[in-house]
């Protein structure tokens, strides 16, 4: 009998729309409320600045992938230009990052479902949803691509619908009276809600700095855009186009959505623990529409979790084939559908930390805690990637006629500074302090292990 083979069933339409929707995540749908509450309208500048930094970071990844399209992941360049041991550390760290993404997205899913089932415990909701998505991931890759395609369609439609709603209500001079954050609020939809009595740091500089983590979380995983573009038939044609469209996506999806939210109602009354997307429709009195939007953001989180389980499974499979053969060989086992089934089991088991977090009284918000862990480990990987990029620039492989990063001698230090600022901001917030310390401990401990391990 023939051995099962890992399946590659994604089509170009799957890759392109998943790449577009990859700029929209739970960090925007759920985290926007907290960032607006902490920083007010000026949080838009944080999205723009961090968005610019991510654009140049992706241009650096794009330059590497354009030089060698046979490499399907930017992590391979870390091994090539920063050394085998650094590559080992980075590959396993990135896998752990994806596991934390699974945990954070599962926490978000529980929050959304409690909109309909407030009496059901979060931990129970999360376990049931994880079982369902595990079932989806046992099917072939083509089914995964089709599921993600429609999830992506829903996410894009949600953002465009939000912006269109704000425009229509604004031109119609829509007024309302509602209860927000326990207070009766009367207002009208207008851009003046954003600019009246504008202050850059309405709640202090440290609150603004503390909000940077959630903004960064909204952008993490954008490197998937470069990697998915590299999987197309002609990567040297699709890669520059996909990455260069990112500024437009940032302006439309992030800045456009935030402007729409804050134009509809006074940002002072937006609660930090509730999705503004749901609140918009509650404000105008359409209860069923609020439920619909809650379904949209639920599908967004389910999409992110589905993608993360898919990615964590494939990463574990790849790492098990590369390293520690014998001990990790069981994780290379494929199901009849070509799915690395044991690697999937491992990803699901580790994702069960989400319901565990909800039961720990010291953790006030499981989503914030997991998102913080995700952000700081992503940043560790990003720092190493930037170092590897500079090593490539110094090597004989550097192609002066390739898809070059604009003004790299200026833009890459700018990216490094912004990432470092975000990382340091994690130490000045009680919700993110311990995850930040954990990232430092992981980097030192696993870094030393990787340094002295026989590879």
Contact 213, 372 (CB under 8 A): yes
Residues 49-62 have a mean pLDDT of: 92
Report pLDDT for 1.
Answer: 39
Would you say residue 5 lies in a domain? Answer: no
Contact 201, 36 (CB under 8 A): no
111 has pLDDT over 60? yes
Whether 2 is in a domain gets the answer no
pLDDT bracket for residue 225 (50, 70, 90): low
Residue 6 lies inside a defined structural domain of this protein: no
Quickly state the pLDDT bin for 6 (edges 50, 70, 90): very low
Is the CB of residue 185 less than 8 Å from the CB of residue 170?
no
Longest pairwise C-alpha distance within the chain? 73
With respect to residue 4, please indicate whether it lies within any of the assigned structural domains. Answer: no
pLDDT of 382 over the 90 cut: yes
Beta-bridge mates of residue 176: 187
Total number of domains constituting the chain:
1
> What integer pLDDT is reported at residue 9 of this predicted model?
46
Does 1 reside within a domain? Answer: no
What is the β-pairing status of strands 183-188 and 175-180? antiparallel
3-class secondary-structure state, position 208: helix
Q: Which residue has the higher pLDDT, 56 or 222?
A: 56
At 218, list the tokens: 């909204």
Round to whole Å and give the CA distance between 91 and 19.
22
R_g over Cα of the chain: 22
Q: Among the ranges 39-53, 164-178, 202-216, 260-274, which has the highest mean pLDDT value?
A: 39-53
* Percent of residues, the chain, with pLDDT higher than 90: 24
User: In the predicted model, is pLDDT for residue 22 greater than 70?
Assistant: no
| Lowest pLDDT segment from 3-7, 16-20, 439-443 | 3-7
Phi and psi torsions of 245, nearest 5°: -80, -10
Helices (H), 2-83: 12-21, 26-29, 32-39, 43-67, 75-82
Give a yes or no: residue 165 inside a domain.
Answer: yes
DSSP classification of residue 332: G
The pLDDT value given to residue 60: 95
Q: Kindly report the CA angle at 239 between 235 and 244, in degrees rounded to 5?
A: 165
Domain encompassing residue 431: 12-452
Indicate the pLDDT class of residue 144, thresholds 50, 70 and 90. low
332 and 321 Cβ atoms separated by less than 8 Å: yes
Per-residue DSSP letter, 360: -
Percent of the chain with pLDDT strictly greater than 70: 87
Q: Which helix (H) or strand (E) holds 134?
A: helix 122-137
Determine, yes or no, domain membership for 138.
yes
Average pLDDT value over all residues in the chain: 82
CATH number of the structural domain spanning residue 304: 1.20.1740.10
Q: Is 68 a member of any domain?
A: yes
**pLDDT tens digits, one per residue of 304-322:** 788 788 888 888 888 888 8
Q: How many CA atoms lie within 13 A of 442 on its CB side?
A: 21
pLDDT at 198 over 90: no
With a cut of 50, say whether residue 287 has pLDDT above it: yes
């Amino acid at each position: 009998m023939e051995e099962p083979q890992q399946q590659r069933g994604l089509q170009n339409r799957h890759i392109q729309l998943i790449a577009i929707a990859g700029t929209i995540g739970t960090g925007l749908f759920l985290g926007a409320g907290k960032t607006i509450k902490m920083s007010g309208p000026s949080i838009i500048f944080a999205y723009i600045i961090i968005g610019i930094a991510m654009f140049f970071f992706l241009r650096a990844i794009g330059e590497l992938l354009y030089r060698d399209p046979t490499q399907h992941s930017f992590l391979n360049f870390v091994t090539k230009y920063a050394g085998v041991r650094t590559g080992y550390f980075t590959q396993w760290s990135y896998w752990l990052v994806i596991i934390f993404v699974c945990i954070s997205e599962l926490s978000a899913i529980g929050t959304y479902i409690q909109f309909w089932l407030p009496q059901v415990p979060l931990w129970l909701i999360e376990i049931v949803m994880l079982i369902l998505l595990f079932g989806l991931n046992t099917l072939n890759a083509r089914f995964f691509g089709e599921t993600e395609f429609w999830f992506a369609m829903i996410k894009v439609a949600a953002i465009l619908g939000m912006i269109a709603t704000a425009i229509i209500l604004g031109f119609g001079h829509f007024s309302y009276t509602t209860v927000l954050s326990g207070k009766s609020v009367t207002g009208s939809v207008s851009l003046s809600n954003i600019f009246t009595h504008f202050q850059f740091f309405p709640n202090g500089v440290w609150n603004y700095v503390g909000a940077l983590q959630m903004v960064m979380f909204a952008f993490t995983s954008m490197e998937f855009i470069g990697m998915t573009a590299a999987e197309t038939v002609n990567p040297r044609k699709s890669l520059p186009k996909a990455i260069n469209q990112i500024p437009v996506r940032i302006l439309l999806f992030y800045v456009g959505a935030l402007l729409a939210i804050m134009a509809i109602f006074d940002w002072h009354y937006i609660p930090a623990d509730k999705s503004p997307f749901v609140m918009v429709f509650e404000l105008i009195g359409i209860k069923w529409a609020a439920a619909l939007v809650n379904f949209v953001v639920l599908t967004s989180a389910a999409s992110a979790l589905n993608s993360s389980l898919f990615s964590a499974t494939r990463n574990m499979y790849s790492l098990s084939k590369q390293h520690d053969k014998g001990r990790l060989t069981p994780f290379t086992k494929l199901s009849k559908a070509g799915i690395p089934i044991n690697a999937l089991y491992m990803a699901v088991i580790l994702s069960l930390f989400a319901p565990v977090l909800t039961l720990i009284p010291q953790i006030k918000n499981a989503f914030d805690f997991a998102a913080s862990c995700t952000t700081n480990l992503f940043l560790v990987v990003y720092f190493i990637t930037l170092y590897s990029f500079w090593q490539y620039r110094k090597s004989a492989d550097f192609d002066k006629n390739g898809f070059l990063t604009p003004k790299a001698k200026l833009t890459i230090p700018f990216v490094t500074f912004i990432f470092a600022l975000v990382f340091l901001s994690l130490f000045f917030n009680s919700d993110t302090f311990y995850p930040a310390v954990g990232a430092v401990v992981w980097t030192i401990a696993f870094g030393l292990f990787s340094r002295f391990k026989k590879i």
